[in-house]
Amino acid sequence: MKALLFAVLLGLLPASRAAPATLLPRCQLALAAIRPLAFYIAPSGAGRGRVVHVLLGIRFPFGEFGIDGLGRAVPLGLAALAVPGRPDRAFDSVAAERVLSELSLSAVVVRRPFGYLCLLTDRGRVVGWLRANRQLEPSPVPGWRLILARARWSFELAPHRTRRPARHRGG
């Protein structure tokens, strides 16, 4: 999926030709209403383990971005260059809220088989996305519970902002 985003950004693939005009305003409303719901560190792969991924949503996650060890948003595809940090629930929650308040919406919309991706930017760099289905409603991140179950480290925020205990796995 990240390769597709870069292909669109480089102009190799068409972006938002068929995106409905009402999609960007809906994504803007969603961006204003979402909050961090869960955090995780992916189990393995190039650059993974350096970035704490933040799942965004209202009742269920339909977006994602990553933060590094300094609490900065990590551009998509550049996780290997991120400053590594240790998972810390309090630090990650505060950093995610701060970064989320600084994110903006790109004018580029990526059409996907399930619907659309609205791209989130930080200082002009694409750092995350929000999913919308063909009816322009938020679309859940596929397998998000499985992602959290397989993660090296993860925790979820309860709906009323009380934290569940963190789970630690190896490494």
144 lies in some domain: yes
Distance CA 169, CA 147 (A): 13
Q: Specify the number of domains making up the chain.
A: 1
Query: Is 17 a member of any domain?
Result: no
Number of Cβ within 10 Å of residue 102's Cβ equals: 12
Reading the chain (171 residues) residue by residue, the pLDDT tens digits are 454 444 444 444 444 445 788 899 999 999 999 999 988 887 655 555 678 889 999 989 999 999 988 889 999 988 888 888 777 777 888 888 999 999 999 998 999 999 999 999 999 999 999 999 999 999 999 998 898 888 878 888 765 443 344 444 444
Whether 12 is in a domain gets the answer no
Would you say residue 163 lies in a domain?
no
Q: Do residues 50 and 68 touch, judged by C-beta distance below 8 A? A: yes
User: Is 3 within the bounds of a domain?
Assistant: no
Q: What does the pLDDT read at residue 40?
A: 87
Question: In this predicted structure, what is the pLDDT of residue 154?
Answer: 84
Residue 9 lies in a domain: no
Domain that holds residue 43: 23-158
**C-alpha to C-alpha distance for 169 and 78, rounded to whole angstroms:** 24
Q: What tokens does 127 get?
A: 């750092």
What is the structure's pLDDT at 43?
A: 63
| Rounded Cα gap, residues 146 and 41, in angstroms | 13
The answer as to whether 77 is a domain residue is: yes
In a domain, residue 171? The reply is: no
